[in-house]
């Protein structure tokens, strides 16, 4: 019985490995450093209790406030169920299944491939080169039939920015052929690097944003797509009729008020201070081989025996994100910057673990 139901499913869905979100991976922790969330809850209260009516598709106040925050016009902003929905809407609006393709550069965020596969659109990858920058000649060779190029900057999970001059070259080589989607989920941690100022020059540039990271609202599920009005109008054709619930729109508007943005900026300062201490402390741990620089609220590090490190901390309730399977990231774990106490507990646990020379001595 169950196998015949399985046979009814689309072939690409049968083959699909779903995105392994931090929540799906589980764990029994009290120090959650695996999903790049803000570590503390920000208090909000619902101001609206009327739930008998459908919400607006694009709540006016949320759109206007985000446009003001991003320095854009309201018709350049689309709000959706997280940036993840933006990733998918773009494929649905621009890619013909079985014909067009999307392209991205691993190691990077996992939802670009999962969304493409779910919809039945080919995805192509061009591995990042030294220091996780774009391999532009290899991208140029593989652009045939590509409609969307996802560039995550700062990149998850490596934490680095993609060089703006390389993104400019990518925009030049894709003009008239494909959209370049800059995923700026973590941009609040390095706001000067945003590409919003380039939208006027490049009609095929799209930017993804979210309230899940610096705004401390991962549980709200609210994200934004920023682009020229023509792109936004096309996305509006394929978006669900009511993508945000009334409570989500209510809280998003509060988070984007002047006071909400000021609180977010204060949180960013605290995260950046904790990140610098965490990086300095990690460099003192014997089991850490390399700590990569970060422009975000997480730090990627290479460990001498990463699986043992991951398991030891997991058993102590400290949950990190294993990046071993990503191209070029063997031995790497990603650590979200938590509260000062959470970072200190992580360092204490790591300090008890041996380095490479110690483990050879023991062997």
Assess 185 for contact with ligand PMP (CB under 6 A). yes
The Cα-based distances of 112 to 65, 89, 105, 122 in angstroms read 28, 11, 10, 11
Assess 37 for contact with ligand PMP (CB under 6 A). no
Residue 83 or 333 having the CB closest to ligand PMP: 83
Considering the complex, what minimum distance in angstroms separates the CB of residue 255 from ligand PMP? 13
Q: Which residue in 39, 55, 59, 82 binds ligand PMP (CB under 6 A)? A: 82
Of 361, 359, 362, 363, whose CA–CA distance to 287 is shortest?
A: 359
Residue 243 contacts residue 80 (beta carbons within 8 Å): yes
Residue 334 or 345 having the CB closest to ligand PMP: 334
Task: Give 310-317's long-range contacts (Cβ < 8 A, gap of 24+).
Answer: 312/349, 312/353, 313/346, 313/349, 313/350, 314/27, 314/29, 316/349, 317/28, 317/29, 317/30, 317/31
Considering the complex, what minimum distance in angstroms separates the CB of residue 187 from ligand PMP? 10
Residue 254 contacts residue 47 (beta carbons within 8 Å): yes
Q: Which residue in 33, 63, 77, 83 binds ligand PMP (CB under 6 A)? A: 83
The conformational region for residue 82 under phi > 0 = left, psi -120 to 50 = alpha, else beta, is: left
Q: Which residue in 55, 59, 106, 223 binds ligand PMP (CB under 6 A)? A: 223
Applying CB under 6 A, the site for ligand PMP has a residue count of: 13
Q: What is the greatest pairwise CA distance in the chain?
A: 69
Assess 304 for contact with ligand PMP (CB under 6 A). no
Assess 109 for contact with ligand PMP (CB under 6 A). yes
Residue 147 contacts residue 179 (beta carbons within 8 Å): yes
- Single out the segment in contact with ligand PMP by CB under 6 A; choices: 48-56, 67-75, 76-84, 267-275: 76-84
Assess 309 for contact with ligand PMP (CB under 6 A). no
- Single out the segment in contact with ligand PMP by CB under 6 A; choices: 77-85, 168-176, 249-257, 351-359: 77-85
Q: Which residues bind ligand PMP (CB under 6 A)?
A: 36, 82-84, 109, 152, 156, 183, 185, 210, 212, 218, 223
């Amino acid at each position: 019985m169950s196998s015949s139901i399985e046979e009814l499913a689309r072939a690409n869905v049968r083959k699909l490995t779903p995105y392994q979100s931090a929540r799906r991976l589980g764990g029994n922790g009290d120090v959650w450093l695996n999903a790049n969330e803000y570590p503390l809850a920000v208090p909000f209260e619902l101001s609206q209790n009327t739930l008998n009516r459908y919400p607006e598709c694009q709540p006016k106040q949320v759109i206007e406030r985000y446009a003001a925050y991003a320095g854009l016009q309201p018709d350049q902003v689309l709000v959706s169920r997280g940036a993840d929905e933006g990733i998918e809407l773009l494929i649905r609006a621009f890619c013909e299944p079985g014909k067009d393709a999307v392209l991205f550069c691993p190691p990077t965020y996992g939802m670009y491939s999962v969304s493409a596969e779910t919809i039945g659109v080919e995805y192509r990858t061009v591995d990042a080169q030294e220091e996780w920058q774009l391999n532009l000649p290899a991208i140029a060779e593989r652009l045939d039939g590509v409609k969307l190029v996802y560039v995550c900057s700062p990149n998850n999970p490596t934490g680095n920015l993609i060089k703006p001059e390389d993104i400019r070259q990518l925009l030049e080589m894709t003009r008239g052929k494909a959209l370049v989607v800059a995923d700026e989920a973590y941009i609040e941690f390095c706001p000067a690097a945003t590409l919003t100022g380039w939208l006027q020059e490049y009609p095929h540039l799209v930017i993804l944003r979210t309230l899940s990271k610096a705004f401390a609202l991962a549980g709200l599920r609210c994200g934004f797509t920023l682009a020229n009005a023509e792109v936004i109008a096309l996305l509006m054709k394929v978006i669900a009729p009511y993508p945000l619930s009334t409570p989500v729109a209510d809280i998003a508007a509060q988070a984007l008020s002047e006071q909400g943005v000021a609180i977010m900026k204060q949180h960013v300062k605290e995260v950046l201070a904790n990140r610098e201490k965490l990086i300095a402390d990690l460099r003192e741990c014997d089991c850490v081989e390399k700590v990569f620089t970060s422009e975000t609220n997480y730090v990627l590090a290479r460990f001498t025996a990463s699986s043992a490190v991951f398991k030891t901390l997991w058993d102590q309730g400290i949950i990190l994100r294993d990046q071993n399977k990503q191209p070029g990231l063997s031995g790497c774990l990603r650590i979200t910057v938590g509260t000062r106490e959470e970072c200190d507990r992580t360092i204490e646990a790591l300090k008890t673990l041996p380095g490479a020379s110690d483990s050879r001595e023991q062997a």
